[in-house]
Amino acid sequence: MIFIGRHKVSTFNMLAIVDLDCRFIFVCTGRPGSMHDYAVLQQALVHYHSHFPHPPQDKFYLVDAAYGNTLGFLGPYRNARYHLQHFQHGHLPETMEKLFNYRHAQLRCLIEWAFGQLKNKFRIFKSIPNYGLRTSNRIIVACMALHDFIKHTGGDNGGDWIEASIHAGNNAEGIAPDLPDLMEDAGHNADRVYMDRLRDMIAAGMAVYENLL
């Protein structure tokens, strides 16, 4: 079985966690392409609970706005857009929310760099043949494992993976555009409130350091 997307080509959704060294530390693949990102995350948390790399206490993963704020997952402010190219041309963020989103986007670029390196190493990702869902999933996991092994053994040193990876991303800014947040009620309210306050505290600290407050 494989899923057909709106462009009449085979497609499916996946969730990947990337560390600061652009290594894939978790992947959940083979979900329908129409499934919302947050739903994929919830399935991964349920089906791979014993293997899911939950962040340590008081730590969190950076996620895009599609996931929202919930315990262990920190998203950007949805009411303050950010455009890396705009800031790179000398326009500085004017508010603590925009500054936070800018820094958040800069770190999230690691995800696109990791996928860019993966695509440059394994050209099969340019157009995976229709091997079926089971085989396609195995190809993805195997390539990610090889990618991590190459990085762990220093095989990327002196290569052009980092230089070229940004060009393999989803847009010119190096980050995928955020999807609309369709999960307003996702997660426990207390968790959202806690993460919202944590985000405000981090954003305020950044703003003070940059003399915005």
pLDDT score of 169 more than 90? no
CA 90 to centroid of chain Cα atoms: 26
- Looking at residue 174, its pLDDT comes to 43
Please give the residue that has the higher pLDDT: either 160 or 190: 190
Domain boundaries, the chain: 12-209
Residue 105 · residue 82 · CB < 8 Å: yes
Q: Name the more confident of 43 and 83.
A: 43
133: confidence class by pLDDT, cuts 50, 70, 90: confident
Cα 120 versus chain centre, distance: 18
Q: What are phi and psi of 193, to 5 degrees?
A: -60, -45
Percent of the chain with pLDDT over 90: 33
Q: How far apart are CA 79 and CA 86, in angstroms?
A: 17
Spatial contact of 181 and 65, defined as CB atoms under 8 Å apart: yes
> What are the backbone angles phi and psi of residue 183, rounded to the nearest 5°?
-120, 55
Average confidence (pLDDT) over 40-48: 89
Report how far residue 135's alpha carbon sits from residue 29's, in angstroms, rounded to the nearest whole number: 11
**How is 72-139 classified by DSSP, letter by letter?**
TEE---TTS---HHHHHTTPPP-SHHHHHHHHHHHHHHHHHHHHHHHHHH-GGGGS-----HHHHHHH
110-131 pLDDT, tens digit each: 898 999 999 999 988 887 777 8
C-beta separation of 39 from 69 below 8 A: no
Cβ(101)–Cβ(82) under 8 Å? yes
